[in-house]
């Protein structure tokens, strides 16, 4: 697990998507020498999605880094996964699970973010094939209240807040998200993606 997954959980909730498992930052003195580390709350109703469910969101999570130029230290390069990008049919979809009682509700795990990746190297492959997005999420991105809502939400996780350097560090992370939100809104308009009401 990566610390950025805690941020991803808060962003997921702010946007009203509810697709990630709860993640918080905590200190465990005996195990981590008191260093902050991410912790997820695992729900026993979650199970791996079968191949049929995976195909409906084919390659939605680009673990092989096929949609952008990875760095040497990225996991996909270290494990040789980047080399598999030429054979799109053999790329496995991972980190998507479903609820046993609600198989249509897919849940994304391992929501790692790359805050240090430039806007000229974003992974638009993740958006390929998306025809519709929830109105509630897009309205938050357009509302100019994303920063305020993220600050309020992230402040509740004191350990994460402090681990990122307090408000100043959190503001820098939100700067990245706001820039990417603008790019996403431009992408939505340019590709004619429909923004529709979605009921859970």
CB of 130 within 8 A of CB of 173?
no
Angle at 148 between CA 114 and CA 187, to 5 degrees: 50
- How sure is the predictor about 58, in pLDDT bands with cuts at 50, 70 and 90? very low
- Pick 81 or 168 by higher pLDDT: 168
pLDDT digits (tens, 9 = 90+) for 177-200: 999 999 999 999 999 999 999 765
| DSSP-derived secondary structure for 54-106 | HHHTTT-S-TT-TTS---TTSHHHHTTGGGGGG-GGGPPP-SEEEETTEEEEE
What is the Cα–Cα distance from 46 to 9, expressed in whole angstroms? 16
Alpha-carbon Rg for the chain, nearest whole angstrom, is 17
Angle at 96 between CA 95 and CA 101, to 5 degrees: 140
CB of 8 within 8 A of CB of 113?
yes
DSSP H or E segment with residue 39: strand 36-40
Per-residue pLDDT, 57: 39
- How sure is the predictor about 59, in pLDDT bands with cuts at 50, 70 and 90? very low
Domain boundaries, the chain: 4-196
- How sure is the predictor about 149, in pLDDT bands with cuts at 50, 70 and 90? very high
CB of 139 within 8 A of CB of 22?
no
DSSP structure class, residue 3: T
């Amino acid at each position: 697990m990566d610390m950025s997954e805690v941020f991803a959980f808060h962003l997921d909730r702010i946007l009203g998507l509810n697709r990630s498992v709860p993640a918080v930052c905590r200190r465990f003195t005996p195990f981590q020498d008191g260093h902050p580390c991410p912790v997820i709350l695992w729900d026993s109703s979650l199970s791996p999605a079968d191949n049929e469910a995976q195909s409906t969101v084919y390659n939605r999570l680009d673990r092989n880094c096929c949609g952008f130029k990875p760095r040497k230290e990225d996991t996909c390069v270290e494990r040789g996964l980047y080399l598999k990008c030429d054979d799109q049919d053999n790329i496995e979809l991972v980190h998507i699970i479903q609820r046993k009682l609600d198989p249509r509700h897919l849940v994304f795990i391992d929501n790692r973010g790359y805050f240090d990746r430039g806007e000229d190297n974003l992974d638009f492959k993740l958006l390929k094939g998306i025809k519709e997005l929830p109105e509630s999420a897009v309205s938050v991105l357009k509302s100019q209240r994303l920063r305020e809502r993220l600050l309020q939400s992230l402040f509740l996780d004191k350990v994460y807040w402090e681990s990122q350097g307090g408000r100043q560090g959190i503001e820098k992370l939100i700067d990245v998200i706001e820039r990417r939100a603008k790019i996403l809104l431009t992408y939505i308009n340019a590709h004619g993606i429909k923004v529709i009401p979605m009921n859970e």
